[in-house]
Each structure stands twice: as C-alpha cells, then as structure tokens.
Amino acid sequence: MRPRGGVQWTLFGLFLVALVPVVGERYYVDLTTQILIYALFALSLNILVGYCGNLSFGHAAFFAIGGYACVILTTTYEVTLIISLGLSVLISAVAAAAIGYVCVRLAAMHFAMLTLAFSMLVWSIAIKWTPVTGGDDGFVGATLPDLISNPVSFFYFALLIFSTGLILLRVICTSTFGRAMIAIRENETRATFMGMDVRKIRLQAFTIAGAFAGLAGALLGLYNRGMYPESAFWTESGQVLIMVLLGGMHSFIGPVLGAAALYILETMINQYTEYWQIVLGVILLGVVLIAPDGLAGLLSGFRKRKDDSVTGVDSE
Amino acid sequence: MSLLEVDNLHVAYGKSQALFGVSVEVSRGELISLVGRNGVGKSTTMRGIMGLNVPNRGVVRWKGEDISGRDPHLNCRDGIGYIPEDRRIFSDLSVWENLDVARNYNATSTADSNIAKRWNEESVFTLFPELADLRNRKGGVLSGGQQQMLTIARSLMGNPELLLLDEPSEGLAPLVVSRMREGIEQLKEAGLSIVLAEQNLGFVLALSDRVYVLEKGQVKYSGSAEDLKNNIDIQKQYLTV
C-alpha cells in the first residue's frame, strides 16, 4: 500500500497534470478535468473496496447526491460555491452514514446487494422528484461563479479539489484508522479480538467514502453545469468499480491510474469503433487474469524488478 | 475473588456440542494450563471466554462481572488478550503497524490501575529483541516463530491483564520453543495472568501453577503442575497419543 517514493511520484504527476492547459488543446483540458473528477470518485470507492474489503455496487448514490446537492444549492438557493461544496460533502456524508448504518450489518454479497438497492432508490428519487431534481431531464443550467466559468480556470479548480481530496485520503489511509481498515480486510475476527469495533470502523469508512464521492459528484455537477439521474444508475457504480480494478485496488494511487486509463482508452477506441465496450471487456479480462493487482501492480512489479537487478537481490 | 471464572461452560458449533460444562478459575498473576489431545475443547474454551463463540449454557465472569457472550472487542478492551492457534498476524501491515493498530484500538491502555505492566513498543522489543530489527518488515514475510512473537507482542500493546495463549509452541522448531518458553516466563514474572492451551506436556509442566486436563469437552482432572507430573495414570489416560 505504500510504494517507495510514492509521495514524490504523486507530486511529480500533479505537476505534469497542471501543465496540461499550458501545452494541450481545449480538448485535453476537458478530458483531464473529467479524469480528475472520476479519479477522486474512484479513490473514494477504494476506501471501501481496497482498504476495508467491502465490495460496493452502489457507490454512485453518493456521487449523485453530492452532485445534485451542489447544483441545487448554487442555482436554486444561490448559495456561494464554497459553502455549496462543503454542504454537498456534508449531505453526502450524512446520507452515507444513514445508508451505511444499515449496510454494514451485512457482509460480502449481501452488503454489495444492499448498496445496489440503495443506489437505485437514490436514482428513482432523482427521476421522480422532478420539481427539485428536474426529473428525467436532469437538473440543467447550473450557475457557476465567473472565476471558474472558463474551462482552464475550472480545470485548475478541479485540480485543487482533487489534490486536496487526494492528500486527505492519503492521510486517512496511512493513519492508524487506515491500518485498522486493512486489518479488517485481512480478517474481521482477528481484528475483533484485537479490540476493534469492526462494525463501527466499517461505518466510518463507508461515511468517509460517501463524503469524498459526494465531493467528486459536486465537481461533476459544476463541470457539466447540471446533474442527471444516470449518475446514480448502477452502471455508474459499475464503471467506477472497473476503474478501481483496472488501476489496482491494493494500491492507494491505483484508482487514479484506472480512471485515467479507462477515459483514455475510451477516447482512443471510440475513434475506431462505437463498440468500445467489447475492447474494454477484453482488456478487463486480461487485467483480472494476468494482472490482478491492476496497473499499479504492474508498475510496482516492474520497479521492483528494476531495483532488484540494480542491487542484485532476488525477489522475495 | 478470581480474576477469571468459567463456570459450567457449554459451547456448540452449530448442532455439534463441543464443551460440556467446563469450569476453570484463574487468580491474578497465575498461569494455568488447559491440556489434552487434539479436539478435546481447549481452543473452544478460549474462544468461549473471548466471546468468539457464544456459550449456550454457563457463565464467564471477569472480575466478578458476567461477560458471557459479550463482543470480543469489548473483552479485549477490558483487558483480555487472545493469541489464537493460527498465530496469524496482519500480513499486509509491517511489524510496527501491527503493534500500532493494536495499541490504538485498545482502551485499557489508559484505564485500569491493576495492570501489572504497561507495554509499549520499546518494552515489547526488549521482550522479543528478534522483532526490533524487523520493525519495518511486512508481517507476511516473517518466519513462524517471529509471527508467534509478533502476535504476543501485538496483544501486549493493549496492556492486557490476562493472556489466553493457544498452543504457542505448535509447529515451532525446538530452539524457538525454548525461546517462547523464556518469553512466557518473563510475562508471568511481569505479573500477567495467563491461560495456556498446550499439547506439549513438558512445556506446560515447566510453566504452569495449575493444570486442567480436558477430554471430550469436559475437565477430567485439575491440580497443581507438580501433582500432574507425578500422576502417571492421568497422563497415560488423557495425554498420551
């Protein structure tokens, strides 16, 4: 979970991302903004999947709640951007705590199914509560402050929020709480007789994951200047899960790589065929069969081999 | 008053009854052993005390309070440390992280004044110097003996008053077994109360104050280690293979 030099690589990566508007066209700025949003979403899911070992099929619920909350607050109630963002995170966290309170009573597949059920409930509320959410057509025409209304300034705003989220999640994951989540993933019973209240820690993890998914959703709402029910649909939960698996769920930074890889692949393959999902399916098969630790696993394996060949040490 | 009192404990795994009225007492600072062949209920007794298996009859009293079936994490925080037979550590965490997670999720570290000794990283590394050099090594790559030391060290970080040690010598090389014996002797000298489940009679007789012999989920004999040493009949009947 802690690659050597991980912090330096992350800072270097963020620096390179910050250069995109300087060297790239508008198209790449938009693409990178979307990647940043989904990378934050995937990072939040990995708290549950990679750290706590709880597979969620309904994480998009909190993504959508955060997104709707933010655009409704900024547009319908004309709340300032920063307060709207803060409230969106808070609302997502409260929703996650309430839904999580029920879900963490179950484990494994039952937990996953319950998260799916709740996310579909959120989706149906988004569709049916037309006066507030805009219903099937979505909530359109969200207002943005002038400061972030052009693509480049929004890009830097998204990068700032992403970096903040990344740092906060990193601090959480490397704290004693992060280690407790890993302990629970490895063996719940063992964690229990070590004094850990497993259900409470799982609920805390669920709430944190929901809060950060809400933050990513709020960014998406602002970026799209609106929010649509599809963001709560199970396919959205499936997509972010694919990002986590593709990038590597046992690595902190893996989901970011997964989000970037999925978006870039989609863009590249779409140029040649509209059936890009077929290609994605083949790639996913390859990842699961050949590299179960995802792209991050491949990279760390490559780095380890390189280190070993330099030092002449055999792999353990 | 006994520190731990197990009275007429019955525990089942589904429909299969494993314990039929086991009664055990541990006084403060005492080391008692549960001995017997494989499958007689030694581990189940420990799991029943810890709350990992809820008893269907009988009572577990901790400092006079009925804790039967209470959640294991509460028992741990209340001063009962459990070191299971499989001695599994958290393999994705380093030695230090294994200790850290145990220290921070344990409330006894700040509470009870009865605790004989307060443990920290330094004192567990003094007890098991082998671990000090492996501080940043992932738990999963440690040897069996090192893992056993780490499970004990990890449990100590919660400042327990009682340690439930399930087969600490099982599967270890003779040299490591004698190292483990020294470690347990030091824990006893530090004032810890210990319940030891063992098949290795030499190990048990060298360490224990009192011994309980189990057979088919019942206590068939209890007495001092010295008495059991001299009672060849009991040894032949219940302890030889």
The confidence score (pLDDT) of residue A316 equals 30
Residue A225 makes CB contacts below 8 A (sequence gap 6+) with: A71, A140, A141, A142, A143, A144
Q: What is the pLDDT of residue A285?
A: 87
Range of weakest confidence among A105-114, A299-308, B153-162:
A299-308
* Closest by Cβ to A193, choosing from B50, B93, B101: B50
Cβ pair B105:A186 closer than 8 A: no
Confidence of residue A280 (pLDDT cuts 50, 70, 90): confident
Q: Which two tokens stand for residue A188?
A: 């719940």
- Rounded CA-CA distance A152/A247 in Å is 27
Distance CA A205, CA A177 (A): 9
Is the pLDDT at A179 greater than 70? The verdict is yes
Chain A hits for B82, CB-CB cut-off 8 Å, are 193
The DSSP-derived string for A150-192 is SHHHHHHHHHHHHHHHHHHHHHHHTSHHHHHHHHHHH-HHHHH
Q: Could you give the number of structural domains in chain B? A: 1
Q: How many CA atoms lie within 13 A of A193 on its CB side?
A: 27
3-class SS at A58? Answer: coil
ipTM of the prediction: 0.83
| A177 to chain B: closest CA residue | B101
A176:B71 CB<8 A:
no
Tell me the C-alpha distance between A40 and A62, whole Å: 13
Average confidence (pLDDT) over A252-260: 94
Mutual angle of helices A176-186 and A198-224, in 10-degree steps: 110
- Within 8 A of B93 by CB-CB distance, chain A residues are 179, 182-183
User: Does residue A69 carry a pLDDT above 90?
Assistant: yes
pLDDT in the model for residue A313: 37
pLDDT of residue A258: 94
Q: What is the mean pLDDT of residues A162-188?
A: 95
pLDDT at B212 over 60: yes
| Predicted local distance difference test score (pLDDT) of residue A305 | 62
User: Using CA atoms, how far apart are residues A213 and B121, in angstroms rounded to an integer?
Assistant: 37
Q: Which tens digit of pLDDT belongs to each residue from B163-196?
A: 999 998 888 888 888 888 999 999 999 889 999 9
How does pLDDT run across B93-148, given as a tens digit for each residue?
Answer: 999 999 999 887 775 544 555 555 678 888 999 999 989 999 999 999 999 889 99
Question: Is a pLDDT exceeding 90 seen at residue B202?
Answer: no
CATH of the domain at B221: 3.40.50.300
| Range of the structural domain that residue B82 is part of | 4-239
**Run of H or E including A84:** helix A81-103
Residue B71 above 90 pLDDT?
yes
